[in-house]
Amino acid sequence: MAFLVSNTMTSPALMVLLCCFLLIANGAHQSEACYGTNQKLQSLQVSAPANQPYLTSYHFRPPQNWINDPNGPMYYKGVYHLFYQYNPLGPLFGDKMIWAHSVSYDLINWIHLSHALCPSGPYDINSCWSGSVTILPGDKPFILYTGIDASGQQVQNLAMPENLSDPLLKDWVKFSGNPVMTPPNGVKDDMFRDPTTAWQAPDGRWRVLVGGQIDNEGMAFVYWSWDFIHWTKLDHPLYSVQETGMWECPDIFPVSINGTIGVDTSVLNPGVKHVLKTSLFSDKHDYYVLGTYDPQMDIFSPDTDFHGNSNDLRYDYGKFYASKTFFDSAKNRRVLWAWANESDSTQDDIDKGWSGVQTVPRAIWLDKSGKQLVQWPVEEIETLRGKQVSIHDKELGSGSIVEVSGITASQRLSSLTLLGLIHNNYAMIKMHQSKADSDLSVC
């Protein structure tokens, strides 16, 4: 079925309606249950041992198995959603990755739902890799994700909820016309992935970025669409840098110049700057740069040169990769997620039955200087704090050990405040074994 759409006379709302109709008319089908009928595959799962003293309690993770990139976080009809890369068959990265799905009402306590996207068609039969969610007018969330097709090529696919009235969005359907984007000329089949949340420019067209590489030049390709189904690649990338290699999980979003209030991804006015982030496959770090997005030319002009090395800005200098932000309309903030892949060995992961966590969600905004971002754990984290344990008037000498009763090293959350005297570089705080969840201050 073919439709002729006017680029100048069709309203965005009508285009969204047409998009939904096209999905139905072209035979969108429900995402199949992941390995639900394959007992042989299910038997390969590794159960997490019951006794695990270092099991995380306030960093998000599923009960067992491997996770990596956060995908499509969003706030929808009173519910926070987090999709993420997941191997349902074991604690190591898998040959067939899926989109797992969890929901929360406070970003702290999570309910694990059935998986959202699993390999099912020729366009994603070898894996459902990372992507994003965009909420279109009329509260219609659409997923754009990377599928590894039957030939091993990375292509971009589309999915939407089966039931928009379900705030949990438990079931998703894939567009039968997938893929909607394929690797452009000059781009290797395995160097084209991770579509961003889309934004709507003043001309009414949707834009989305896809990470890629040509030779060793990393870049963010730009695609535009009127209806969110038919996508056209621009003849130039939004931004690119020589010798940076593959750009994974790009992210672009506006931040207010004045204040900490977050704004929707499509906001474009003199009161915002734009952030462009990339996850460099070469060194597994996330880098970002502040600058200006020109919607007419579809180019990004950084405030400072971007090199893709230690001279650039980073969200975090620890284990932090494949980060993804979303606009939380409930509290007018931009929230940052990322994958922390820890430092355990392969054998450690097999023994414990799980691998990887998501970082604590953080609110993020522009510093008053306008030269970098500021971040802080979301306020809901405070609900995890229990009773306070304090030590007063204690001098900490060099190499000294101070035992603190009523707190454990593996508790869910602790706040350490040192107001006493600290001599000669360091002292050691020894946690007394206790079941209490507490704050710790040394005064």
Between CA 80 and CA 167 the distance in angstroms is 9
Cβ count within 10 A of residue 285? 20
From CA 106, how far away is CA 124, in angstroms rounded? 32
Q: Which two tokens stand for residue 283?
A: 């060194």
Q: Is 215 left (phi over 0), alpha (psi -120 to 50) or beta?
A: left
What's the rounded Cα separation, in Å, for the pair 192 and 200?
Answer: 22
Integer Cα distance of 408 and 435 in angstroms: 7
Do 406 and 432 contact (CB within 8 A), yes or no? yes
CA 378 to CA 361: how far, in whole Å?
Answer: 6
Residue 134 tokens read as 């965009």
Q: Is 69 a catalytic residue?
A: yes
Residue tagged active-site, from 69, 286, 312, 349 = 69
User: Which residues carry out catalysis?
Assistant: 69
